[in-house]
């Protein structure tokens, strides 16, 4: 019987966790934020991409933040993406230092550790803008650093732990990775086998992790490991694991279909010792913490896909309005422009769902169902949109010269990573009360 990534998780526990101190947006000014621009937010029609007083979730501050990030992307990242993709790895320390210095790695993290203490809507704004990067690998790596490996540490970690791991991660001095998946446990995360056994004042870790993004360059891992032999949702803990310790073998850089400039590693642990103070929060709460962390990961993943999907549609419009066949532009064919309009509509629907989930999350609600729906829809669109757009590029779409072919490969991951489409469907079914009993193992 499968134990799904979220099926063991109880909504009440999530709500309880969410009641713990959570930074809220109360008209925060981001004065002092580097390069914040004064954007005129009045007298403009609603647009998801431009400052507007009538925006559902964003204020002029959100758009200023995005404009500031866009400048960094245009200057420090996009000009080098092709080279890094070809080399099979982007320089994480260099890129994260640039983003960290500008404040983008600690948007919702406490100011004591170098963060901006803004609410989750600012995370979605930043993640959306990261979709301006012309590959999937770098936004994914940034997401691991800011919204996948660090939410539990920021929320539940001790002050000492946050000083040692969170502060340098926010500053971009340390690269983080998240160690949940294993060779034998991906979708079925409750079934992980890696153990961290308490010996005196230490934990001794044995096992291995698979598919670890940033794995070759990481300085520390947010590790999910079994710390007792109890029930699968009560036997796990999250630990901060420094990556340069004896017994840690970063075994293999995985050669992948897409996300070429992201280093994805298989990692083994052999009697790795860490002090017990590296435990995040309470022992035995790791599964619950990770489920909470997954909600942020998934919202982040959806947000970071929106802009790139729109960009694919836009570049397809540009190309097909130039390219001619049978005496007219490709775009002139109704099947082409209708399809592009339909896809643009789908992106807006996804965006609306994300904003609803993010808005409710900021107010302390359990958004697992909405987030799972959004992640599912996002995975579907990340397959459908690059595929449809690529078709309209004809032979050019099949070359490595154009963004659409890279995204056809990169975005295929969205339906698999961080909880596959089928797992999202199971979670939604569970919340709808229609998941067959035999799959609901507690």
Ligand X SMILES: Cc1cc2nc3c(=O)[nH]c(=O)nc-3n(C[C@H](O)[C@H](O)[C@H](O)COP(=O)(O)OP(=O)(O)OC[C@H]3O[C@@H](n4cnc5c(N)ncnc54)[C@H](O)[C@@H]3O)c2cc1C
**Contact status: 269 vs ligand X (CB under 6 A):** no
**CA 180, CA 189: separation in Å to the nearest integer?**
7
**Contact status: 136 vs ligand X (CB under 6 A):** no
Q: Give the residue carrying structure tokens 């989750």.
A: 120
**CA 168, CA 403: separation in Å to the nearest integer?**
33
**Contact status: 143 vs ligand X (CB under 6 A):** no
Marked catalytic residue, from 182, 297, 348, 422: 297
Q: Based on CB atoms, which residue is closest to ligand X, 114 or 417?
A: 417
Q: Based on CB atoms, which residue is closest to ligand X, 186 or 207?
A: 186
Angstrom CA distances, 194 to 7, 36, 226, 302, 394, stand at 20, 45, 6, 29, 47
**CA 378, CA 347: separation in Å to the nearest integer?**
9
The correct pick among 76, 315, 346, 422 for binding ligand X (CB under 6 A) is 422
| Min dist. Cβ of residue 1 to ligand X (A) | 10
Under 8 Å between Cβ of 374 and 367: no
**Contact status: 190 vs ligand X (CB under 6 A):** no
Under 8 Å between Cβ of 370 and 357: yes
**Contact status: 152 vs ligand X (CB under 6 A):** no
Residue 217, both tokens:
């360059």
Any residues with CB less than 8 A from the CB of 417 and at least 6 apart, and which? 211, 301
The correct pick among 110, 114, 143, 186 for binding ligand X (CB under 6 A) is 186
Q: Based on CB atoms, which residue is closest to ligand X, 99 or 212?
A: 212
**Contact status: 181 vs ligand X (CB under 6 A):** yes
Give me the DSSP letters along 267-314.
EEEEEEEEEGGGEESSTT-HHHHHHHHHHHHHHHHHHHHHHHHHHHHH
**Contact status: 144 vs ligand X (CB under 6 A):** yes
Residue range at the interface with ligand X (CB under 6 A); choices 33-41, 75-83, 183-191, 313-321: 183-191
* Helical pair 421-432 and 368-393, crossing angle rounded to 10 deg: 140
Q: Based on CB atoms, which residue is closest to ligand X, 201 or 255?
A: 255
φ, ψ for residue 414, nearest 5 deg: -60, -35
The correct pick among 2, 28, 56, 360 for binding ligand X (CB under 6 A) is 2
The correct pick among 98, 187, 333, 365 for binding ligand X (CB under 6 A) is 187
The correct pick among 121, 146, 169, 213 for binding ligand X (CB under 6 A) is 213
**CA 274, CA 426: separation in Å to the nearest integer?**
36
Q: In the window 39-68, what residues touch ligand X (CB under 6 A)?
A: none
Q: Based on CB atoms, which residue is closest to ligand X, 181 or 320?
A: 181
**CA 122, CA 116: separation in Å to the nearest integer?**
10
**Contact status: 286 vs ligand X (CB under 6 A):** no
| Min dist. Cβ of residue 292 to ligand X (A) | 15
For this structure, is 297 an active site residue?
yes
Three-state DSSP state, 237: strand
Q: Based on CB atoms, which residue is closest to ligand X, 102 or 427?
A: 427
φ, ψ for residue 129, nearest 5 deg: -70, -30
- As annotated, the active-site residues are 297
Residue ranges in contact with ligand X by CB under 6 A: 2, 4, 144, 177-181, 186-188, 211-213, 256, 259, 264, 413, 416-420, 422, 426
């Amino acid at each position: 019987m499968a134990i799904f990534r979220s099926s063991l998780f109880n909504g009440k526990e999530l709500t309880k966790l969410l009641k713990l101190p959570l930074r809220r947006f109360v008209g925060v000014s981001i004065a002092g934020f580097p390069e914040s621009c004064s954007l005129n937010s009045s007298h403009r029609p609603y647009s998801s991409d431009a400052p507007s007083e009538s925006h559902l979730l964003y204020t002029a501050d959100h758009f200023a933040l995005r404009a500031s990030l866009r400048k960094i992307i245009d200057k420090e990242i996009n000009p080098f993406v092709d080279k890094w993709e070809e080399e099979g790895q982007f320089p994480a320390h260099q890129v994260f230092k640039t983003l960290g210095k500008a404040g983008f790695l600690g948007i919702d993290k406490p100011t004591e550790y170098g963060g901006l203490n803004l609410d989750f809507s600012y995370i979605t704004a930043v993640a959306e803008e990261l979709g301006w990067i012309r590959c999937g690998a770098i936004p994914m790596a940034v997401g691991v650093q800011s919204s996948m490996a660090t939410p539990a540490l920021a929320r539940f970690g001790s002050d000492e732990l946050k000083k040692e791991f969170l502060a340098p991660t926010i500053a971009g001095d340390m690269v983080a990775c998240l160690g949940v998946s294993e060779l034998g446990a991906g979708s079925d995360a409750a079934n992980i086998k890696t153990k961290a056994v308490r010996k005196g004042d230490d934990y001794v870790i044995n096992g291995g992790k698979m598919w670890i993004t940033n794995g070759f360059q990481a300085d520390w891992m947010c590790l999910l490991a079994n710390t007792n032999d109890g029930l699968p949702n009560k036997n796990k803990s999250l630990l901060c694991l420094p990556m340069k310790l004896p017994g840690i073998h970063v075994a293999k850089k995985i050669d992948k279909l897409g996300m070429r400039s992201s280093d994805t590693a298989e990692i083994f642990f052999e009697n790795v010792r860490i002090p017990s103070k590296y435990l995040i929060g309470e022992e035995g709460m790791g599964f619950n913490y990770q489920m909470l962390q997954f909600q942020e990961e998934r919202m982040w993943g959806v947000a970071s896909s929106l802009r790139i999907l729109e960009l694919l549609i836009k570049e397809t419009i540009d190309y097909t309005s130039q390219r001619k066949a049978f005496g007219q532009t490709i775009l002139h064919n109704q099947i082409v422009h209708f399809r592009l309009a339909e896809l643009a509509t789908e992106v807006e629907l996804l965006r609306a769902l994300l904003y609803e989930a993010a808005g409710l999350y900021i107010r302390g609600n359990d958004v697992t169902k909405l987030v799972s729906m959004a992640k599912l829809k996002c995975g579907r669109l990340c397959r459908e949109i690059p595929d449809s757009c690529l078709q309209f590029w004809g032979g050019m779409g099949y070359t490595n010269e154009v963004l659409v072919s890279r995204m056809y490969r990169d975005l295929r991951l969205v339906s698999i990573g961080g909880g596959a489409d089928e797992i999202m469907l199971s979670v939604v079914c569970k919340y709808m009360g229609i998941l067959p009993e035999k799959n609901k193992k507690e």
